[in-house]
Structure formats: C-alpha cells, structure tokens
Structure 1
C-alpha cells in the first residue's frame, strides 16, 4: 500500500520558492514605482489613478471615495513623492490632509518599512480635534497597508501610550504630549524618522508652541523630509531655520496664489456694526430666525462659551445647543464634535479650538460674536463652511471702534466682505431675561462675571491696538447687557483709565462742594446692593424687596447705620522704630492693655489686634518692591524678563558681568540680613538668661511657689513635659485612671486553672 502522506521537504521548498518569488515581484514593483515617480509631471494628473502610487494606497483611496484631485493635491503630492521639502498653502477645505497623507504612506512603502524599524513618520497638529480627524482619514486611506499607526494626544492615559508608542510606525500627535513621550519614554526612538508633517504650521510655529517645537526638532534627525501645510503659510527664514529647512531648497506651493480672494468662492461673507451691549440681543435674534440651519458661533474665551450655552439653553431658542472649548475633558469634546457632525440643525458655541482644520459637514452659517485676533484667524474660522466647493455664509459682528482696523486687515488679505443691517423687526432684547436669570441663579451670575472679565482680558492682551481698544469698552453697559447687578472689578486696567476714573471722582466731589449740597449726603457710599434694589424692573425684583425699599424710605435716616454697618478700628501707629520695639516688648508683659490715640472713640483694642498690627508694620521693611507682569495669549502672567529678547538682554552688558553684579548685590544683602539675625538671636539669649536669673532670686528669697501668681509664672516659663496636655481616651474615667496609677499589684505567673480563677477574682475586686 502506497504512503499518501505529504512530503514535508517538498512543501518547505515550495513555500520558500513562493516567498522568493514574492520578494522579487515586490522589488520589481518598487523599481517600477520609483521610475514612474521620477518621470511624473504634475500636469499629467487629474485623478488619483493617474498618480504614481502603490496599489495599497490606490485601494484605500478608492474605498474611501477619493477619486478627483484638488488644486493643492495636484501640485503637492508629485513634489512630495520625489522627496522634496514643501511649504504648502491653500484655501480652507481644499484637501490638504490628503495632500500630505498620501506621500507619507508612499515614502514608508518604498522604504519597505516594518514594525521593527520604529517610528517612520510624525504628524503634528495644534489641536486634539484636528489630530483625531487626521488619524481617522489615515485609517481610511491606509487600510490596505501593514503599517502600525497611533494617536497621541492629551487627555488620555500616559502609561498606556508609553507602553505602545515604541512599536508604532506612524504617529499623529499634539506638540505637548509627543514631547512628553520623547523625554520620558525609554524605548521611544526617533533616529530613523523619514518624514515630519506640520498641519496648520502657522499656528504651530507661533509664540504658543515655539519652545515645544524647538525641543521636538532636537530629538529628530536632520536628514528627513519635512512638509508644512496651512491656509495661511509662513515663509519667514527664522521659522524655516528652526525646522532645519533652507529657504532655497524648500519648495513653496500655493494652489490659489493668483486667486482674487483668500477664502472659498462659494462663501458669502457679511459683517454688521453692533454696539457691544447689543451683541447678545443680535445673536439671539439671529438664532431664532435660523432654526432650520446648522450654525457655528465663535467667542473669544471658554468662559464666554459657557455663559452663552447656559443662558441660551435656559431661554429655549428652539434649536439644539452645544458648546466646545479647551477646558472640557477629552471624552466630552469628542462627544460634542460627533453629535454636531451628525446633526442637521444645531448651534455650536465654541472657541478658536474649532477654527482650524476641523471638517464639520454641511455648516450653513459661521457667526463670529467676537472679532478675531487677526485676518488669518478670520480665514480659518470662516473656512469651516463652504468646504470642497460647496456653499456657505458667514457673519462677523464688529463694534464701531473695531470696524475700521479689521476691515483694513481683511482687505489686505483679499477677503471680500459686505456690510448688512439688521431689521428692527428681527431684533429681540434679552437683557431683562438675563437679569432675571442672574438674580435667580447664582451659578449663571458667576458665569456672567467670569465671561465679563475674560472678554475684557481678551481685548486687553491683543497686540493690534488699532482694532482692539480697551479704553473704548463701555464696561457698565456691557455688564448690564449680561444681566449682572454691577460691574465686576477688573485688575488689569490701563493707567490712563484709572487716572480718568480718579479725576472724574475728584471733580464730582468738587462740584458738590461748590453747589452747596449736604456734606452728609455726599459722603454716602452706594454699594452694588443699592444699585440692584433701585432698579424699576418688576420682573427681576419681587414684591418683598420693593416693600423693603419703601420701608427704608419711610423710616428716615434713623436706621441707616443699623443695616449691614461695618465698624472699623483706625489705629494710628508711630513711625519711630524705637516705639515699635518698646510696643512689642510691652505686648509680651502680662496685664498690658494697648491705649488708643486721642480722638478715637471706637473702644478698646485686643492684645492680638495690636500685636498683629505691629507685626505687619514691621514686616513692611522686608517686603520687596512691586513687580510688573505681562499676560501671554492664554492669559497667563509672566515676569518681564521672560519676554525679553537676546538683543535686549545684551544691552545691559555681558552675561558674565551681569551675573557677577547680581552675586555681589546678593552677597551684600545676605551679610546685612545675617547681622540682623545675629542681633535678634543675641537679644533672645539675653532675655532667657534674665528670666532664669530672676527665677533663681525668687527661690532664694523664699517666695511662696504655691501662690496663684507664682504658679502661673512657673507654668509659663517651665519646659513643656511630654505627658502634659495628653487627652484621656473616651473609655477612661477620672476615678479609674487615678486608681489605676496608685494601686499596683505584684502577681506571680499563673500555671494552673485554679491560679487563673483566683487571679480573675482579685482583679475584679480591685476594680470595684
């Protein structure tokens, strides 16, 4: 009978031959692909099938329904396939993501990249939402490849990312998180990197990410391909040098350089002049008249977005409302973007976190409640609509002081925009409704106060003073439009405005003196509660508060000092240093009672208050001079030297000379402090010796140590024992503890059961 078992040797040889044939076929395909790329001209392509790309990439594009090339893709992809560095600029919604993802996949494919080669391509995005969107597109068009890809952004578990990051070939990330892994992940190697991609490069290369990008580039090899894409591209030599790019070798590509407009042709852009206190009324009327539209509303800060969302949600405009800002958790941000993308009719309040790169389908209107910081930000904001040759509309709300400067900046960027006026019939004031909400809900009132301060700060920190004029803000009217009972305090006002307010108050006082008004009425202080109670709005104030006002008017001036009156003690302290030392000594003496200066009738002052006043006055000598702070784009405070450039630093002298001068000053200061510290220590030792000597003299003189005064002195001066002040346990009683301390028994070690019974009886009788 013949043996029908397969021959293992023949099977092994057959598989080896198949692998060898497959490797040869792949090598021939790579050579043919390289030849096609070298001979390819950008004018020859109108569809993705015409490009010299691999079969795997072509399959992913076809299954993702990408067939026709856009203008930026026609020019950028062929140059990137040839290994050139690219600076790509194109209008928003023109397909820049595909323009750098296709070359990324092809470069790794032609280098036969595997999971053992480590990181091959790095894509950096300024926001988490944009990074998520890029990663989703990468998964779609790269589904036929065998590369491993990962998303590294903030808001996720760092340890989980650290364990997997060393095995990834492609990373889509945000700057801060990838730098954290470069510094901390032990197995994360970037020495073999082939391509670096910066999406929205103008935002990444600005002041906010400058130090982070410089640190990331230090971890990357110099021999790499770099692609920069944005709707408003930078060409400055300093930015290119930081990325190891040469302005001569880097190829600048602009798909719409000869276009008459920087925005999509299907976008209709309008602006309206609206006073700041009327902006919320205009926005609410706009939302009420566009209930069947998909609206994206931009505000300047996250606190304003929160306030808009909470108040409009309570007012029920009749359309689904959502909000998106940087202070939300990552899961909430992803949920909001998904729900808004799937919605047909909705209104999303957001900050500039959603201004760049995000592709929300079918947005009808982009409304900018607050003016953008510059024309580039305006272009990115309006680019959320009219994407991929579709249509859309935008509305920009400007105050009268902002209109001239902003329109000039937009005209310089080739932005066509028209002015419109809003019909009076479409307007609806919500000021009274907001006042009612703030009065009834402390949470909304708190959000309104934060929104007021954050808007003022956003205007204050802007660099373009021709557009953003902080002194022209109507603070009281704007606070009233938010429904607030008073104007919140602003700590970053300009010196001129503070001087104007001071002069205005002094002029008002002088006018009262000349007119002969009653001095007592002039001295009255109006609080925010007075302003709130004086309102005539019946919807806000209940009958209870109205009756309170009438009772106060009928009662006259007798009860003025009884309601919420604060009695303050004004104590005059001498400036003489000797008096300070004597007062401090007197405070330590028993029975000392501070005496008030003549003319003060507020009553006695406690020893603690007097000691606190003297200590505060003494500490003023060691308090340093006030320092000036500056705020960055995120509203964080910094010292002046942090913004100082290298040229300004060198004006003060060489670094070694400045260092030596600083050390010499500090040495002198420390010597003075040491002298003072030694004097204080010496005085304490003398005082301790004096007290010890007095105690010995009293003991020798035979004073009665059992007297009350002596006991007090000894208790104050004797060292604290370890057991003193020990609290009794909850289960202890005074009698039992004393008995336990006084009665002690010596008992032999029990050996039998009878011994244990007798010992038990003795203990029971002793505890009774």
Structure 2
C-alpha cells in the first residue's frame, strides 16, 4: 500500500514525500486506518517493521486537524521503555512537525528536572518520555493529563519487564478524559501481565499482529557456537570480527563490568571500540551513541540497554557474547542488524552458563539450530543433559498395621467404603445417576 492511499492530511503526505517514504509497511497499512478512526489499538510486529510511523502519523494528524480538548494539557503522550528509544521517537516526531507551529517536549529520567518543568510550561502538544519521569512530573504537579487525547505506549512489554507497571497505572489514572484514545505496541501479545494492562487501559481495542515475533528474519544469517569458558569466547569473538570486513558491530554482554573489559580487550587488538552500559550518566550515553551513530566507532559493546528501538542502519554484525535470559530479548538483539533491507549476521556463543537460555531461545524460535565451529577453536563443551527426574517414594505410616487398611480413621491411606479408589474400577462421575421409577396415574388409582 502507498502512503497516498491512506487518508492522511496532505501536509503529512508532503513530509513523507520529502523523506522519500512512499510505500507503507504492513504494520503501517493495517494500524493507521484504525488509529485515524479513533479506535484503541494493540499491535505487535517484529523489530524494524516501521511501527514508530504507524503511531506518529495518526497522532500528528489528530493534532493538525482537530480542536484540542484542553489548551494547556498535552494532547499526545508517547511512552517508551528506555531513554534511547524515547529520543529516537522524539527525533522522528520533530521532522514530522518541523513545518508546523507545533511544540514537543522530551521528558527523560537522568536529565535536569527543572529544565523539563520549564519546557512543560510552554504547553507542548506532544510529550515523549519514560514512564518513571512522567510519573515524577505528575506527582510534582508540573504535568497534568486530564485533557490528554492520545496515550501511546511503545514497547509496552519491555516497560513491564523493567518494572514500570505502577507508573503506567498512575499515568492511566491521570489521563482520565472519556474521549482518550490509547494505542499499545508490543513485541508479543501473549503475555499475562500485558493482557491485564490492556484490560485496564484500553477500551475494546482492535488487535493487529503482523507475522510472528519469533519468525526467522530472512535478511539475517544466524550462527551459534559452543564455548568452553569466557577466555574461549574472547578468542572466538576476535576471530569472528576479523574474519571479514564489517561496517559496524554490536557486542551484547550480560554485565556492565564485561562491557568495559571487552571494549578494552578489543582496543588492545587495534579495533575502534566503545562501551555502553546503564551505570553511565545520560550525557555520557548520548555521546557514545552519537559517536557510534556517526561511524566514529567501529564496535559498540553494550548490555541490553541498546537492544531495542535504535535504528542503526550500518550494523552488519551482532554478537551475543552472553545469551539473554529472556528469549524474546534475543529477537530484539538480533534485530539491530539486517534493517531496512540490508543483510546482517548474528553470532551467539553458548557456554555452560548460557545453556538454559539457549534451550529457551530454541523453543521460542521453533527452529532447528545447528552449531558451527571455528577451525582450531573447537569447544570441548557439548551441552548439558537434562536432570534426571527422581522416582517418587511411598512412605509407610509408622505404627500402622496392615489390618488397619481400609478402616475408617486408619490414617492417610484410609480407603473407607464411601471413598473412590482412583486406580481401580470406574469413577463415580462415569456412572449414570440412578433414579427411582416414577409412579403413573394408573398406579395411584389402584
């Protein structure tokens, strides 16, 4: 479907044309018409499917074409799980509204609170932020959402994983206008906590699911290698990065300490590498992502903080030095490459500590996984066997004679005359109910 086929305002069509966007992705083609009708929406699609525009275009269209419910409250609130993803959404929003007299504010944790208060006093129509900091502004009376028209939650499942359930409830309670429209985008719809959130925040939502989040990405070649230990992983990492030329590389680790250690190790080998982790200040993280985005650094070593939302088109290799604990997080990590039609490669190391995660990922992907080997770096580790199930033992009650069996009050093994023996005969529920024969009128007369 072409964007010109969608009932979008001509000013949005012009902005898309300038950017060279003509063909709508599947999620955009299905979600935008429902969103424009004002329906609540819950949608899932794989990473890199263009869902950001799927909610930004209807949001901007509403602000451009309809009267506000309130002159002071923001009209659209967009929530993201991480600061990096919120910033990316904000920058896409900025170019969509660049030619219009519309204001947007970015409200993130870890940044100056008072500066954000000043920005909110200018009554922006759009607020993009993280749930924790938005809740802080609600509590501090520097933000009111009574007149909010659209509440959009990007990567809602990730927000729940990060523990923002209470903040989302606070935001939902504050945005209490009966005409509010809500849209929720998630990697998966099969999540009990997400289902509960959907019931409490959305009204008869239209459900859209594009593909399967675990489906194989045709533009990404995935390889798995067995590893004996951390040293073995380090030797394989150096080999894979150097075996052919890659535009840019992201290496995912389990801990913050490992990001610094691996980055230093790669620098010693003459590779341009930089480390990103959650213990850095927001300014430091911004500088690191800016350097990597401009191509000043060849390799980014990071925790899961960079696994979602970042649109880095030059990443041609992703390495899972440690497998993630959550299977769907693997899909998001791998999705940092192979974007916008480019080919990518994803490599994962599986050591003894990664084995449980590997089994979870294998089950989630529902694909056959064959392990590759590097000549001269073959692993001795071949996987872990599942633990044997212990045979149940029957304990006899002390002091109870065989003659007591079957008698009432004879202990836990009591099988009195009124009890069902489940291992013998038929159960009571299988027997037809016996009824007394009904007397006829003739019988009564006699």
- TM-score interval for Structure 1 and Structure 2 normalised by the shorter chain: 0.7 to 0.9
Cα displacement (A) at 1:401: 5.8
Say if 2:305 is the partner of 1:353: yes
Counterpart in the other structure of 1:75: 30
Query: 2:65 matched to 1:110?
Result: yes
TM alignment of 1:432-471, pairs within 5 A? none
Match of 2:331 among 379, 383, 386: 379
CA distance in 2 between partners of 1:343 and 1:407 (Å): 35
Give the Cα–Cα distance (whole angstroms) in 2 for the partners of residues 321 and 289 of structure 1: 17
| Other structure's SS at 1:424 match | coil
The residue that corresponds to 2:124 in the other structure is: 168
Structure 2: distance between partners of 1:357 and 1:181: 24
Q: CA deviation at 1:355?
A: 0.4
What secondary structure sits across from 1:88 in the alignment?
strand
1:323–1:348: 8 Å Cα contact kept in structure 2?
yes
What CA distance in whole angstroms lies between the structure 2 residues aligned with 1:301 and 1:413? 24
Q: Provide the rounded CA distance (Å) in 2 between the counterparts of 1:212 and 1:468.
A: 40
Change (3 A) 1:337 1:417: farther
- Which residues in structure 2 correspond to 1:61-100 (within 5 Å)? 61-100=16-55
Match of 2:221 among 268, 285, 300: 268
Give the direction of change, closer, same or farther, for the CA distance of 1:354–1:226 in structure 2 (3 Å limit): same
Q: Whose Rg is larger?
A: 1
Q: Which residues of structure 1 form unaligned runs of 5+?
A: 1-45, 428-465, 470-768
**Structure 1 residues 463-506: Cα deviation after superposition (integer angstroms, max 9, x where no partner):** xxx9999xxxxxxxxxxxxxxxxxxxxxxxxxxxxxxxxxxxxx
Correspondences of 1:496-515 after superposition (within 5 Å): none
1:235 CA displacement = 5.2
Q: Within 2, Cα distance between the matches of 1:416 and 1:193? A: 47
Q: Aligned with 2:319: secondary structure?
A: strand
Pairwise CA distance, 1:382: 0.4
Distance 2:90 2:240 in 1: 35
Q: Check conservation: 1:162, 1:185, Cα contact below 8 A.
A: no
Q: What is the TM-score of this pair, normalised by structure 1?
A: 0.47
> Using a 3 Å threshold, how does the CA distance of structure 1 residues 304 and 153 change in structure 2: closer, same or farther?
same
Task: Name the CA distance, whole Å, in 2 between partners of 1:416 and 1:133.
Answer: 35
Aligned partners of 1:337, 1:405: CA distance in 2, in Å? 28
Counterpart position of 1:285: 239
- Judged with a 3 Å threshold, the aligned counterparts in structure 2 of structure 1 residues 175 and 342 are, in CA distance, closer, same or farther, namely same
- Larger relative contact order, structure 1 or 2 (CA cutoff 8 Å, min sep 6): 2
8 Å contact kept, 2:307–2:329 = yes
Rounded to whole Å, the distance in 2 between the matches of 1:111 and 1:80 is 14
Alpha-carbon separation, structure 2, partners of 1:77 and 1:468: 47
Whole-angstrom CA distance in 2 between matches of 1:60 and 1:264: 30
Change (3 A) 1:60 1:415: farther
Q: 2:248 aligns with which of 291, 294, 300?
A: 294
Shift, 1:178, TM fit: 0.9
Quote the offset at 1:87 in angstroms: 1.1
Q: Is the 8 A contact 1:115 1:168 kept in 2?
A: no
Q: Using the alignment, how far apart are the partners of 2:174 and 2:386 within structure 1?
A: 40
CA shift, 1:206, in A, is: 3.1
Equivalent-residue separation in structure 1 for 2:59 and 2:367 (angstroms): 33
Give me the whole-angstrom Cα distance separating, in 1, the residues matched to 2:367 and 2:181: 33
Aligned partner of 2:263 among 299, 309, 312:
309
Q: How does 1:515-664 map to 2 (within 5 A)?
A: none
Q: Is the 8 A contact 1:64 1:141 kept in 2?
A: no
Q: Is the 8 A contact 2:319 2:348 kept in 1?
A: yes
Where does residue 147 of structure 1 map in the other structure?
A: 102
Residue 320 of structure 2 is matched in structure 1 by: 368
The alpha carbon displacement at 1:55 in A equals 1.9
Distance 1:64 1:205 in 2: 34
Q: Render the CA deviation track for 1:296-331: whole Å, top value 9, x for unaligned.
A: 000112121122223332x2x232111111111212
Q: Is 1:320 paired with 2:272? A: yes
Q: Call closer, same or farther: CA 1:409–1:368 in 2, change over 3 Å.
A: closer
Match of 1:184 among 118, 140, 165: 140
How high is the TM-score relative to the length of structure 2? 0.79
Q: Deviations over 1:716-757 (max 9, x none)?
A: xxxxxxxxxxxxxxxxxxxxxxxxxxxxxxxxxxxxxxxxxx
Higher strand share: 2
CA distance in 1, matches of 2:221, 2:368: 8
**C-alpha separation between the residues in 2 aligned to 1:296 and 1:71?**
28
Flag the 1:132–1:284 CA change in 2: closer, same or farther, 3 A: same
1:399 aligns with 2:351: yes
Q: CA deviation at 1:77?
A: 0.6
Write out per-residue CA displacement over residues 127-171 of structure 1, whole angstroms, 9 at most, x where no aligned residue.
Answer: 111111111111112223322111111232211111221311100
Q: Give the superposition deviation at 1:343.
A: 1.3
Shift of 1:344: 7.7
Aligned length: 378
Gap change, CA 1:207 and 1:112, over 3 Å in 2: same
Cα displacement (A) at 1:241: 2.7
**Which of 230, 254, 258 is the equivalent residue of 2:209?**
254
Aligned equivalents of 2:386 and 2:336: distance in 1? 24
How many angstroms does 1:104 deviate by?
0.7
Alpha-carbon RMSD: 2.6
Q: Counterpart of 1:364 in 2: which secondary structure?
A: strand
- The whole-number CA distance in structure 2 between the counterparts of 1:256 and 1:107 is 28
Q: Find the aligned partners of 2:265 and 2:308 in 1 and give their Cα distance.
A: 27
Q: Residue 292 of structure 2 aligns to a residue in which SS? A: helix
Q: Which runs of 5+ in 2 are unaligned?
A: 388-446
Shift of 1:280: 1.9
**2:198 is equivalent to residue 240 of structure 1:** yes
